Amino acid sequence: MGNPTIILASGSAIRADILRSAGVPFEIIKPETDETVIKRAAKDDSAGLEETAMMLAEAKCLNVARQLKADKTDAIVIGSDQIMEFEGRGFDKPANMGEARSRLKTLQGATHSLINAIAVARHGSVIWRNIARPKLTMRPMSDTEIDAYLNAASADILYTVGAYQVEKLGARLFERIEGDYFAVLGLTLYPLLDLLRSEGALEF
């Protein structure tokens, strides 16, 4: 019997790049989940930010796991979500470049956290969960520097909760990062690799 199929329940290019760079064989199936509904339910239940992120990750992996045909029910399905926390508040992705500028002005010279939740489903149930919470300290910046960054960066930053990509030009915005670098990118890698090995999906 061969190794189980690994499925990434995400349309995120950077999450796919992380797995690909680590030599993990996987397929991509985008989940059909309404994040707005899940976040509203989390708010109604007075869920914290970590719990909300995990609810989203679980919904994504379970949605895909339940779509699988009979020959793939043994697949390992990875769902992930990320929420930015600053001064006790949660932040979603900026809607436009104006909101991105405002986000960077708020974060400059301060420390914020990125909550990365991963849930893994197999046989229709969640078998593993992981939360990582790296801290990022952005250097003080003038409005001119922020505008220069936004002019140089692509609109891809609108797909990130902090309005930056630390793997690209966004690295120049920071003084330091504490915690898992891959969690900053959106997929905590080392614990996930350990899980994939334990489930027989990777040989090493």
Which helix (H) or strand (E) segment is 183 a member of? helix 181-185
**Which residue out of 81, 92, 156, 194 is catalytically annotated?**
81
E-state strands within 105-183: 111-122, 125-132, 135-138, 174-178
- Give the CA count within 13 Å in the CB-facing half-sphere of 103: 26
Q: 119: which strand partners?
A: 79, 129
Angle between helix axes 49-65 and 35-44 (nearest 10 degrees) is 140
158: its two tokens: 């609108």
81 counts as catalytic: yes
Q: 78: which strand partners?
A: 8, 120
Contact indicator for 116, 186 with CB cutoff of 8 Å = yes
Distance of CA 7 to the CA centre of its chain: 15
Comparing CA positions, the residue from 129, 11, 131 lying closest to residue 64 is: 11
For the annotated catalytic residues, the residue numbers are 81
